Structure 1
Amino acid sequence: MARAGSMKILILGGTADARHICAQLHQNMPALELIYSVAGLVRQPQVPATVISGGFAQHGGLSHYCQAQNIRAIVDATHPYATTMAATALASSQQLGIRHWRFLRSPWQSQAGDQWHTFSSTAGLLKAMQGYTRILLTVGQVKPTQLDLLNQVPHVWLRTAVPPSVDLPSNVQWIKAIGPFDLANEQALLQQHQIQAIASKNSGGEATSAKLTAARDQGIPVYMLQRPHIKQQNSAATFTSIEHLISQVSSWQQTLTTAPAVSTAI
């Protein structure tokens, strides 16, 4: 268990939402000591917090790190598809008896003119795209088991923020790009490569939504990977509004600061 007097919060970041949450916590509750964790594969964030990168294996795991650093609460603001980290954060908070909040931005909703095809797995999505000759993949890293499926499409453009973790076949070209993306550039990209279909995660938010608008405008179908199911401690600990999450953290902080001190006198 963490010591009662500690006011440290660990923010699991790597998203624009996490940076906004960190900034608002610092602004509204300066007494909190914020620690911001990021994988560090893309860039180091500029946030008003102590930044740690590279994951928790180097610290003996998340639970061990939280104990060693006297963390009182975890704010999980990782990507909606970061299932492993989300599950680890929940398990660690339950094990240690500390507070846990998760920010989960709302998914995109299809609009009039969209041609969305929804899939529960990347493999199923890629199989369905084999009838095209020119596709854009924006679903993150490609696994070795998926390369055979990619070989069935003559021209593939894979867009990720970090280099691919596998050797890509000759028909796949890598595009390094970090959001946010604007509409004009997305439209130009689709036209330049004569893209016939797009594969996308339903990430939600505004940073990467321009590709959906561009696809709608150009009549390009989108093959959408559904969000994974992530077990939650309870629905009250999951937020789609940053403001509501900040309010909950504020209430928690006030409870700690107004709680009567426990006397240790004999």
Structure 2
Amino acid sequence: MKIILNDRALLKISGADSEVFLQNQLSNDIKKLDESSAQLNAFCQHQGKIISLFWVMRYEGDFLLSFPLDLLEKIQSRLKMFIIISDVIIQDVTKDFCQFGIINETHEGAFTIKGDLSVVIEKFNHKGEIKTNSIDIWRKACIDSELPEIFSITSEKLVPQMLNLDIDEFGVNFSKGCYPGQEVVARLHYLGSAKRRLFAFESSFEINIGDLLYCPSSKSAKARGDRYKSSGIVIFRIKYNSHFYCLATLDVELKDEKITLNNEQGSKLKRIKK
């Protein structure tokens, strides 16, 4: 199943120092990236909070970074700040290529992301309109696979552990060396288990990215007028077959408790258990 991902930006990183540059900026070990995988990486600020998540791919001797389109301007300017005198060129090639999501199929030149999910990068053909399956099918598959995403509304709010990037070092390598925020991320890792993790939920009612999760039984949830201390946040959502699904962070100790959106009277979320 081939699905065009027209909601994603694409940057090309080229130049003699491109690999070293990315190794110094991102959370995963770029040196371990092969030519058939899309490696998940966190691009963090100095406090260890994620600015964006990238699918990083080796492509024709260069690197491609795929991420949500609404972060393009922010990411481009931020990355260019760190070039200094390095031989690195950053180009926006979003309109030069088509990105296709592939579910449970084998395609020549595909980059595996996670499980049965992969991405194909093709140079844009201006002849005719591209027709593929609905992008909602891809988004639902991402939620089923618990593949996290960061959009502008959640940028600089979460550390990698909250998105399970540290589990099996899927998105964070703890022996690769320094990158922005590395000390904070490593300290959280070696201090013990993460208190907040990523989970999948469903609901019959509307869910939006940025909605807060509330647990009335949480000891730390204190009412302040009509505002509550949240126990998590929605990072990705989809309406699929008249039902809502999402990925959200949540305090681990509350995973089996009653969870509602935004306040005690909000719509109830049901955790999808694997």
TM-score, structure 1 length as denominator?
Answer: 0.25
TM-score, structure 2 length as denominator?
Answer: 0.25
Of the two, which has the highest radius of gyration? 1
Structure number with higher helix proportion: 1
